[in-house]
Structure 1
Amino acid sequence: MTTLESWLILAAVPYLGGCRISKLLQYATPIELIEMPAEQLRAIGLSSAQVAALHNPKRQRIDHALIWAEQNNHTILTLDSPFYPALLKEISSAPPLLFVRGEDRWLREPQLAVIGSRSASLDGREAAYDFSAALVAANYVVTSGLALGIDGQAHYGALKNGGATVAVLGSGLNHIYPASHRTLASQIIEQGALVSEFWPDEKPRPQNFPRRNRVISGLSVGVLVIEAAERSGSLITARYALDQGRDVFALPGSIHNPGSRGCNALIKSGAKLVESPVDIFEEVGALTECAINSQMNLSLPQPENEELPFSAVLATVGKEAIPVDVVAERCKLPIHEVMMQLLDLELQGVVSTVPGGYIRTRRG
Structure 2
Amino acid sequence: MLEEDLLYVLALQRVKGIGDINAKKLISHCGSAKNVLKEKRQTLEKINGIGAFTIKHLFDSNNLIEAEKELEYIQKNNITTFYFEAENYPEKLKHCIDAPILIFKEGNFDLSNRPIISIVGTRKITSYGRYFCEKLISDIKQYNPIIVSGFAYGVDICAHKAALKNKLTTIGVLAHGFEEMYPKSHKKYVSEINKNGGFFTDFWHNDSLIRENFLKRNRIVAGISEATIIIESAEKGGSLVTADIANSYSRDVFAVPGRSSDNLSKGCNDLIKRNKAAILTSANDLIEMLNWDIETKKEHIIQKQLFVELDETEQLVYDFLVDEGKELLDIISLNCELPIYKTTTILFNLEMKGVVKPLPGKLFEAI
TM-score strictly above 0.5 = yes
| 1:15 corresponds to | 17
Q: 2:37–2:58: 8 Å Cα contact kept in structure 1?
A: no
| 2:305 corresponds to | none
What TM-score do the two structures reach when normalised by structure 1? 0.75
| 1:35 corresponds to | 38
| 2:204 corresponds to | 199
* 1:132 Cα offset (Å): 2.2
| 2:116 corresponds to | 111
| 2:232 corresponds to | 227
Q: 1:39 to 1:246 in 2, by over 3 A?
A: same
Single out whichever of 177-186 and 233-242 deviates more from structure 2: 177-186
Alignment of 1:207-222 (within 5 A): 207-222=212-227
Secondary structure class of the residue paired with 2:192: helix
More helix by share: 2
Can you list the C-alpha shifts for 1:276-332, whole angstroms capped at 9, x where unaligned? 111101001227879xxxxxxxxxxxxxxxxxxxxxxxxxxxxxxxxxxxxxxxxxx
Amino acid at match of 1:38: R
Q: Distance in 2 between matches of 1:281 and 1:59?
A: 47
Alignment of 1:1-364 (within 5 A): 2-28=4-30, 29-44=32-47, 45=50, 47=52, 50=55, 53-54=58-59, 56-103=61-108, 105-106=110-111, 109-270=114-275, 271-286=277-292
* 1:102 Cα offset (Å): 1.0
Can you list the C-alpha shifts for 1:45-99, whole angstroms capped at 9, x where unaligned? 3537846543623444212221222245521211111110111111120111111
* 1:192 Cα offset (Å): 0.7
* 1:125 Cα offset (Å): 1.3
* 1:273 Cα offset (Å): 1.1
Q: 2:8–2:64: 8 Å Cα contact kept in structure 1?
A: no
Q: 2:109–2:196: 8 Å Cα contact kept in structure 1?
A: no
Q: 1:174–1:201: 8 Å Cα contact kept in structure 2?
A: yes
Q: Distance in 2 between matches of 1:47 and 1:109?
A: 43
Alignment coverage as a number of residue pairs:
291
Amino acid at match of 2:195: E
Amino acid at match of 2:285: D
Q: Distance in 1 between matches of 2:126 and 2:258?
A: 11
Secondary structure class of the residue paired with 1:2: helix
| 2:365 corresponds to | none
Q: 1:207 to 1:132 in 2, by over 3 A?
A: same
Q: 1:90 to 1:265 in 2, by over 3 A?
A: same
What TM-score do the two structures reach when normalised by structure 2? 0.74
Q: Distance in 1 between matches of 2:288 and 2:121?
A: 22
Amino acid at match of 2:280: V
* 1:219 Cα offset (Å): 0.4
Q: 1:288 to 1:185 in 2, by over 3 A?
A: farther
Q: Distance in 2 between matches of 1:264 and 1:46?
A: 44
Q: 1:52 to 1:264 in 2, by over 3 A?
A: closer
Secondary structure class of the residue paired with 2:110: helix
**Following TM superposition, where does structure 1 have runs of at least 4 consecutive aligned residues deviating by more than 6 angstroms?**
287-290
* Unaligned stretches of 5+ residues in structure 2: 297-367
Q: Distance in 2 between matches of 1:181 and 1:107?
A: 27
Q: 2:12–2:63: 8 Å Cα contact kept in structure 1?
A: no
Q: Distance in 2 between matches of 1:133 and 1:21?
A: 41
**Aligned CA-pair RMSD:** 2.2
* 1:186 Cα offset (Å): 2.4
Q: 1:284 to 1:48 in 2, by over 3 A?
A: closer
Q: 1:255 to 1:68 in 2, by over 3 A?
A: same
* 1:32 Cα offset (Å): 1.3
Q: Distance in 2 between matches of 1:117 and 1:177?
A: 16
Single out whichever of 177-186 and 227-236 deviates more from structure 2: 177-186
* 1:269 Cα offset (Å): 1.4
Secondary structure class of the residue paired with 1:117: coil
Q: Distance in 1 between matches of 2:39 and 2:287?
A: 50
Amino acid at match of 2:35: E
Q: 1:43 to 1:75 in 2, by over 3 A?
A: same
Q: 1:73–1:103: 8 Å Cα contact kept in structure 2?
A: no
